[in-house]
Structure 1
């Protein structure tokens, strides 16, 4: 378990930006209300977009960045309570046999993670060409939910459908899953694509994502963590905060900043620039999340 003193020790050791997301009336950086009860906080690690199997520019070290990230997470002074990968575990291929080899290779590398459990989501590179069939052979269901110390986590699949939709069946499942929760439950949604329209022409959207957001808006304590766009981005839809994660393979340009979403050039002077993972400190009673960003390796 990670308490606030241990978290501040982690913050002091690491570089990167810290972003506070205040929900349910808690402003960024807000302290607990006077007289608030003690609670059992925790932290987890989010990694995303490893694209195992990718080769060539702009990352000449593509065979090693995932392994470096695993080693860095294993070396954290205070272990997280769980780890989540938010999609694009592997790089896409038209060859079903090669797809399975890449999924198997990814699974073998991340099996070295000391912390359990590890939760996985597919990305479109893993699942769009076969509706997640190969992914499910290695990692199980593409959408599911779980609870951890008072926070309800719901992992959604907005990639197995080639049209970038959740679909009516999954939306009904999400609604039923959340209907079983008290309205004031802290809820964290894990996704690959953004649920909102960040940059639709770049495939940075979910076509029926607004329907999911409309369901989530009925709950006052919701936060979304996603991947796909290979960079940090923080966005609000009503009271819902959406936070994207950096990639483990190459960074992409800011939304709409250039005609194409081509990867940013490799910088040999700073080979890990724009790459990394994050720690998320959760305070369940207030649904306050503190995000600490780290590079693939930590000095």
Structure 2
């Protein structure tokens, strides 16, 4: 019988690249930690209409179908922001959030964690997001891993802010220095491409709080492409979008969407599985296309 790890490695042959993010701590070999996996989706931009994705009304639904078709369902699912496309109309913003919530309600897995993106939250400091999805920063534990959702989008200035940094410090103070910690956020916490808004203005303060912990990994969205970066011992992994891909960081003057390819409508779009392995501590990332077929 094939186990979960073997299934993932076979699935990667057809699903996409596999990236291993390994972190090692002595206590992590202790009993009580279990392997598990979750799915990360990001940047669905529900409500977008434009040439970058003429099939925008169908892409999110097809991504839900693709996740539901996984042979082994994940423990939980995370959406790392930009659930909806920005609008100045407060009523339309809420309508889009309601439609998004209804569509993702079709997921087989009901344990779903949502983060805001600047398209969801920057125009009203997250008010509508809070109404539909609850707090924009929070933490939870799953099978020996401590997850922290950081909101770096509700502030229109792209800051986490002093109050939330104090909350983050208090949350981290409860963790052992070798605790397994996964940070979920929308914007990168490092300066990837500041001129494109691919940075967090006080991200270095968050990173300074995280640095003393030996087993930290960050998963984020925002840049609409797979990207892997190391800040010392901390790995950062950006996810693909469910709406349109963007160019490589800083590769051109503006971050305009890559042209739609009618011959390959799902090109550059996708979601990922992340398997959290207990011994040794590692995160196996398997990329999948957003749409079947």
| TM-score normalized by the length of structure 2 | 0.95
Match of 1:16 in 2: 16
Superposed CA deviations along residues 255-299 of structure 1, whole A, max 9, x for unmatched, are: 110000000000111111100100001013533000000111234
Match of 1:70 in 2: 64
The answer on 1:224 being equivalent to 2:218 is yes
The answer on 1:164 being equivalent to 2:165 is no
The answer on 1:151 being equivalent to 2:152 is no
The answer on 1:92 being equivalent to 2:86 is yes
Match of 1:7 in 2: 8
| Alpha-carbon distance in 2 for matches of 1:37, 1:297 | 38
| Alpha-carbon distance in 2 for matches of 1:137, 1:9 | 41
| TM-score normalized by the length of structure 1 | 0.93
Closer/same/farther in 2, CA of residues 213 and 298 from structure 1, 3 Å limit: same
Residue number among 247, 256, 269 corresponding to 1:253 in the alignment: 247
Structure 2: runs of 5+ lacking an equivalent: none
Match of 2:55 in 1: 61
Closer/same/farther in 2, CA of residues 171 and 39 from structure 1, 3 Å limit: closer
Closer/same/farther in 2, CA of residues 99 and 38 from structure 1, 3 Å limit: closer
| Greater alpha carbon shift after TM alignment, 280-289 vs 79-88 | 280-289
TM-superposed CA distance for 1:24, in Å, is 3.0
Residue number among 101, 108, 112 corresponding to 2:106 in the alignment: 112
The answer on 1:79 being equivalent to 2:73 is yes
| Alpha-carbon distance in 2 for matches of 1:261, 1:85 | 22
TM-superposed CA distance for 1:37, in Å, is 6.4
Structure 1: runs of 5+ lacking an equivalent: 27-32
TM-superposed CA distance for 1:36, in Å, is 8.0
TM-superposed CA distance for 1:21, in Å, is 1.0
Match of 1:279 in 2: 273
> Aligned residues, how many?
290
Closer/same/farther in 2, CA of residues 284 and 269 from structure 1, 3 Å limit: same
Query: What is the SS of the residue equivalent to 1:90?
Result: coil
Cα-Cα RMSD: 1.7
TM-superposed CA distance for 1:40, in Å, is 1.7
| Alpha-carbon distance in 1 for matches of 2:172, 2:233 | 17
Residue number among 233, 248, 271 corresponding to 1:239 in the alignment: 233
